[in-house]
Amino acid sequence: MSLVLTSSIVDAARETRVGAAAFNVIHLETAEALVTAAERTNTPLILQISENCIRYHGSLLPITRATLALAESSAAPIAVHLDHITEAELVRQGVAAGVGSVMVDASALPYEENVTATAELTSWCHDHDVYVEAELGEVGGKDGVHAPGVRTEPAEALAFVQATGVDALAVAVGSSHAMHERTAVLDKNLIAELRAALPVPLVLHGSSGVPDDELRRAIAAGMTKINISTHLVSVFTRSIRQTLGADPALVDSRKYIKPAREAVAQEAARLLDVLSTPAPVPEQYAAQAPAPG
């Protein structure tokens, strides 16, 4: 299948009410592990490269080109997406490199500034046939959009989508970024309201803190794109700690990174099965069809 468009993965998932998995790349080893998981499960996967990841590597091109190369040679359908990008120049660099979608993150700005900045970059991206996700935050971005108590208002979300022209929207429904425990409980009624109100797919950030069954229920209620990073990073790090703890004299990094890469591949494959298995849709949500696109 090789490299595919993010839109093809997300739109198909929304139509069939399953999760479109979007897992973050940290370095080449995690990218390899994630592609392996997609191939083992024959499941579409979106590989995400965040602005933080780009900064870690020093520039956009090395990690982006490597990730695109893995996608292009994969037996599974893989899309490559830029995640949480605040700088317009990085968007332009990513599009020039060949990514098919970007998440324009102006959520820390006041609402009107968020709309203006997002609309301008969305227009540019659409001129270059690039799919755009955005994030609607509180006014001023206080506490971050996905602080557990924050909730997205359907009417404001619809106004934001109409004003910016974005193709997907990250909404706040009870998750929070960088959670290390999978204990979050999501507002499924709000998810259903947002799905009914918006003509674009819903994106869940902070999914690392959401347990499997809760993810299934959220997808059944109307969530589509599911972003996971911290949980898989923890799997990688835990494996390295275990390997080095068992053999403190080990110095060849390949000998502790290889099992960590395999641990991530196994957990990512398990999560792909969780997200791609349709869950029964409760009657109160089944009646809420998505708004016309």
For residue 285, what pLDDT is reported? Answer: 67
What pLDDT, on the 0 to 100 scale, is given for residue 141?
A: 38
Which tokens in the block code for residue 21? 């998995």
Superfamily of domain 6-286: Aldolase class I (3.20.20.70)
Q: Is 134 exposed, middle or buried (0-12, 13-18, 19+ CB in 10 A)?
A: buried
What pLDDT sits at residue 144?
Answer: 47
The Cα–Cα gap between 218 and 233 comes to 23
DSSP 1-21: --B--HHHHHHHHHHHT--EE
Task: For 153-174, give one letter per residue: b (16+ CB within 10 A) or e.
Answer: bbeebbebbebbebbbbbbbbb
pLDDT at site 187: 84
Strands 45-50, 131-135: pairing is unpaired
Q: Dihedral of the CA atoms 11, 269, 41, 21 (nearest 10)? A: 0
**Beta carbons within 8 Å of 141's beta carbon, 6+ residues apart:** 107, 108, 109
Task: Give the containing element (helix H, strand E) for 82.
Answer: strand 78-85
Tell me the pLDDT tens digit for each residue of 13-54.
999 999 999 999 999 999 999 999 999 999 999 999 999 999
Residue 14: which of 44, 50, 56 has the closest Cα? 44
Residue segments in the chain with a per-residue pLDDT below the cut of 70 = 1, 137-149, 175-185, 283-293
Angle between helices 154-164 and 111-127 (to 10 degrees): 40
Q: Please report, for the chain, the start and end positions of each structural domain, with discontinuous segments joined by +.
A: 6-286
Catalytic center residues: 83
